[in-house]
Amino acid sequence: MNIIVKDLYFYYKEGEDVLKGINLEFDDRCTAIIGQNGAGKTTFVKLLKGLLKPKKGDIFIKGLNTKETTVAKLASIIGLVFQNPNDQIFKNKVLDEVMFGPLNIGQDKNLAFENAKKALELVALLQKADENPYDLTLSERKLISIASILAMDTDIIILDEPTIAQDFISREKIKNIIKKLKEEGKLVITITHDMDFVAENFERTIVFNQGQVLLDGPTKEVFSKEDILKTAHLEPPYITQLFKRLGFSETVLNLEEALNYKIL
């Protein structure tokens, strides 16, 4: 198992639990974490990455207990792309920026260079290697922040809201990146509010609600539970809802599936 979370509790202020008894296991299925603002999603992934430590319970990343492991050691196993790329950019040249992470976790210069090049190719921005990240568009900066984490070649990659404020091309690139990472056998976990993105890319979906897991299962199964989702102020993708309203009992997740029905 890649990640095991046992009876996890966390608070920022004593008496105000933000996570309340989370039990989860992550195999290698590409997983989306959804939930209202304030549900505890970002706190949860910061705990996985070891940036915060459990107040109660344990998290094991590839067998290592995050309470007993340094952030530096975890950094070579688990990468986290923050929501705002500007929180993550430190250098004034794209290539240096993407090499920063690999060098920081001890890769030698040649390996860091090769990994950075491969990561920039994957996000299709190798041609911008010599530019200043701040001369790029916000969408491109987001892709650079993703490349910086990919270059570290970690087995587990977490993306926090990757599609927010992204244009169509960048969104398609992110979809392709996730597909490639999956093919390479990496575990991809994504926090998102973008239900179409979940339906198109993720095998498993976990719903957080007020610091607890409300639903967890294959994405299709989760999106078939419209009433439970409503209690967390969430809705399935528009196309899923449309097919329900039209009287189909089957849960349809995306356009490809919808096209199997003759009405379209």
Residues engaged in binding ligand ADP (CB under 6 A): 12, 18, 35, 37-43
CB closer to ligand ADP, 35 vs 85 = 35
Beta carbon of residue 65, minimum distance to ligand ADP (angstroms, whole number): 22
- Residue pair 197/163 in contact (Cβ under 8 Å)? The answer is yes
CB closer to ligand ADP, 35 vs 102 = 35
Beta carbon of residue 62, minimum distance to ligand ADP (angstroms, whole number): 23
Beta carbon of residue 18, minimum distance to ligand ADP (angstroms, whole number): 4
Q: Is 159 exposed, middle or buried (0-12, 13-18, 19+ CB in 10 A)?
A: buried
Beta carbon of residue 52, minimum distance to ligand ADP (angstroms, whole number): 9
CB closer to ligand ADP, 40 vs 50 = 40
Pick from 165, 89, 82, 84: which is nearest to 134 by CA? 89
- Residue pair 235/220 in contact (Cβ under 8 Å)? The answer is no
Beta carbon of residue 80, minimum distance to ligand ADP (angstroms, whole number): 13
Alpha helix ranges (H) inside the chain: 41-48, 71-75, 94-104, 109-122, 138-150, 168-183, 195-201, 219-224, 226-231, 238-245, 255-258
CB closer to ligand ADP, 38 vs 218 = 38
CB closer to ligand ADP, 12 vs 90 = 12
- Residue pair 33/212 in contact (Cβ under 8 Å)? The answer is no
Biggest CA-to-CA distance, the chain: 59
Distance (Å, whole) CA 71 – CA 69 = 7
Beta carbon of residue 2, minimum distance to ligand ADP (angstroms, whole number): 21
CB closer to ligand ADP, 164 vs 264 = 164
